Amino acid sequence: MKVAILGLGSVGRGVVSMLAKKDLGIVVTGIADSRGGVMDPAGLDLQAVLEQKAKTGFCGDPSIRGEDIVKNGDYDVLVEVTPTDIRTGEPALTSIRTALSRRKHVVTSNKGPLALHYTELMHLAAENSVQLRYEATVCGAIPIIQTLQHGLAGNEVRAVYGILNGTCNYILTRMADEGLTYDQALAEAREMGYAEADPTFDVKGIDTALKLVILANTIWKNGITLRDVDCTGIDLLTAEALTLAGSQNCTIRLIGEVIPGRKLLRVSPRILPKKHPLVVRDTLNAVTVVTDMAGAITQVGKGAGSVETASAVIGDLLFIRDCHVKGD
Amino acid sequence: MKIEVKDAPGQLVAALKPISEAGGNIIAVIHEWDPTLRSKTRIVQVVLDIPEDRVDGLVESLTSRGVSILRMGEERLLMKRSVIMIGHLMHTDLSDTVDQIDCTGFAEVVEIHMTMPGIAQRSSALLTVSATNAAHMETAMEILRAVAKKKDLLLVEPMEESI
């Protein structure tokens, strides 16, 4: 199976290095970042591409652009792992549309296009008889989309709720453990590389809300968008609030929840007993799915990280290879 | 609760069985003998501890077995929920916030723990609200949400036990 990869940031490098290391029978015919690209229909030397990227910051020839690879490249699956833009979804949105229209499967880690245009993109994929898979958009290494689409197939999903943002979870863990103020914990999260220079996206709950939108659309295909989410972040929490919760043997976590029966789509800091299955530490994610037949299922795992997110991307790739490309 | 059971062997045990089946913990059983009744029934007072959301099921189960429930005690459905409020709690009239719950008649604030780190800084308080049943508790929470919105306070609610 031939694959083209757009984006060579943390996730892209994770995917490329794992594909280089593991013999999965996947041939990478094109790779591009924002500054250039490399193409070879016979297959690229992945280790060489990674070395060049590490040494020069470029992944290849500046005259080869990502869009050239998307439009003209020889591939079965486009792996789209560029940074997300939640306002427009671009340039990923155009790349995904183009690939799907060319009857190419797409695997993406990009939340923007999925949260903004879920219904349109899934229709486009169906029209062209190809797969659009996006496991890496929600909860990193946790196979939550696969679980919802296949593992729990036939179940009625009554609710999904969980900790979907590792940065917020790290900040809250540190505030509860060490009595740090919000600002101190945020500064520490930045030092550790968990929080961006502008942490708004994470701490205001927007990242969690985007993931909720994707989860809700995955299950109910109801075309909801970010505007439908009632969203409160963690930036106004105080160290004293964590202490007060602690006095009740509880703690505070940022919870995203979708409960269709109550038309509820909410991100908010919540009080949970310390022994609650969702109370995970540091940057871990945890998500509970409540269904009619299987009851409640909670999955815990790493929500981010280069190789962890690559795990989700590669899982999607192999799913496509096994179920949709083999024997074509 | 006070229940009426047939005065026949095995009836009391049969009446108590649904309580344990519903996950209730029987704390005391007081067998009342009222000679004036002269009926073929006995009045039994049962003190039990049962999760609030299972009470309706228990009532149904008892009724379907022919047990009459004469009275449910005052402690029935008395539930508590603690929330945390963050913001300028005193400057936005904390007693008014509390009053809005208390004046409902079905819910009240029974406990407040508050920390005020500095005059200009936001304070944090743990408020425990008591209500007569789940619907009333939800109404009390709605009042708190509205007050928090109006007064620009952050309300942190507990994760619900069951969905």
Contact of B162 with chain A, judged by CB distance below 8 Å, is answered with no
Q: Does B114 share its domain with B59?
A: no
- Residue B15 is assigned to a structural domain of this protein: yes
- Residue B162 is assigned to a structural domain of this protein: no
Over residues A89-108, the pLDDT tens digits come to 999 999 999 999 999 999 99
Residue B38 has what DSSP assignment? -
> Is the model's pTM score more than 0.95?
no
Q: Does B91 share its domain with B64?
A: no
Q: Is A111 annotated as a binding residue?
A: yes
Per-residue pLDDT averaged across B51-65, rounded? Answer: 83
Distance CA A208, CA B65 (A): 49
Note down the domain range covering B144.
Answer: 79-156
Q: Is A156 annotated as a binding residue?
A: no
Token pair for A257 = 């929840």
- Domain boundaries along the sequence of chain A: 2-140+307-324, 148-302
Model pLDDT, residue A328: 47
Provide, as residue numbers in chain B, all residues whose Cβ is less than 8 Å from the Cβ of A179: none
Residues 6+ apart with CB under 8 A from A124: A97, A100, A101, A132
Q: Does B111 share its domain with B61?
A: no
Instruction: Determine the residue of chain A that is closest to B113 in CA distance.
Output: A244
Instruction: Determine the residue of chain B that is closest to A289 in CA distance.
Output: B163
CATH of residue B60's domain is 3.30.70.260
Count of domains forming chain B: 2
- What is the torsional sign of CA A106, A107, A111, A114? positive
The answer to whether B55 and B133 have CB atoms below 8 angstroms apart is no
Over residues A243-278, the pLDDT tens digits come to 999 999 999 999 999 998 888 999 999 999 999 999
Measured in degrees and rounded to the nearest 5, phi and psi for residue A261 equal -60, -30
Model pLDDT, residue A240: 96
Angle between helices A239-247 and A166-178 (to 10 degrees): 70
Angle between helices A10-21 and A306-320 (to 10 degrees): 60
Q: Does B99 share its domain with B58?
A: no
Residue A211 annotated as catalytic = yes
pLDDT at B14 over 60: yes
Token pair for A184 = 């101190």
Instruction: Determine the residue of chain A that is closest to B154 in CA distance.
Output: A236
Q: Angle CA(A109)–CA(A110)–CA(A111) in degrees, nearest 5?
A: 115
Distance CA A100, CA A70 (A): 10
Grade residue B64 by pLDDT with cuts at 50, 70 and 90: confident
Q: Does B49 share its domain with B86?
A: no
Q: Does B123 share its domain with B64?
A: no
- Residue B161 is assigned to a structural domain of this protein: no
Provide, as residue numbers in chain B, all residues whose Cβ is less than 8 Å from the Cβ of A245: 84, 126, 156
Measured in degrees and rounded to the nearest 5, phi and psi for residue B126 equal -100, 115
Distance CA B141, CA B160 (A): 12
Provide, as residue numbers in chain A, all residues whose Cβ is less than 8 Å from the Cβ of B158: 250, 270-272
Per-residue pLDDT averaged across A184-194, rounded? Answer: 95
Across the interface, whether the CB atoms of B117 and A252 are under 8 A apart is answered: no
Under CATH, which number does the domain A148-302 receive? 3.30.360.10
Grade residue B163 by pLDDT with cuts at 50, 70 and 90: very low
The answer to whether A308 and A302 have CB atoms below 8 angstroms apart is yes
Rounded to two decimals, the ipTM of the complex is 0.87
- Same fold yes or no, A2-140+307-324 and A148-302: no
Q: Does B83 share its domain with B152?
A: yes
To the nearest whole Å, the CA of B152 is away from the closest chain A CA by 11
Contact of B142 with chain A, judged by CB distance below 8 Å, is answered with no
Among B26, B41, B71, give the residue marking a domain's end: B71
- Residue B163 is assigned to a structural domain of this protein: no
Listed by number, the residues of chain B in 71-110 with a beta carbon closer than 8 Å to a beta carbon of chain A are: 82-84, 86-87
Q: What does the mean pLDDT of chain A come to?
A: 95
Architecture (CATH level 2) of domain A2-140+307-324 = 3-Layer(aba) Sandwich (3.40)
Catalytic hit among A211, A274, A275, A326:
A211
Across the interface, whether the CB atoms of B126 and A244 are under 8 A apart is answered: yes
Q: Which residue has the tokens 């890496």?
A: A136
Pairing state between β A264-273 and A230-231: parallel
Q: Does B100 share its domain with B119?
A: yes
Over residues A47-87, the pLDDT tens digits come to 999 999 999 888 888 999 999 999 999 999 999 999 999 89
Task: Single out the residue of B18, B17, B21, B16 nearest to residue B46, CA to CA.
Answer: B16
Among B30, B48, B71, give the residue marking a domain's end: B71
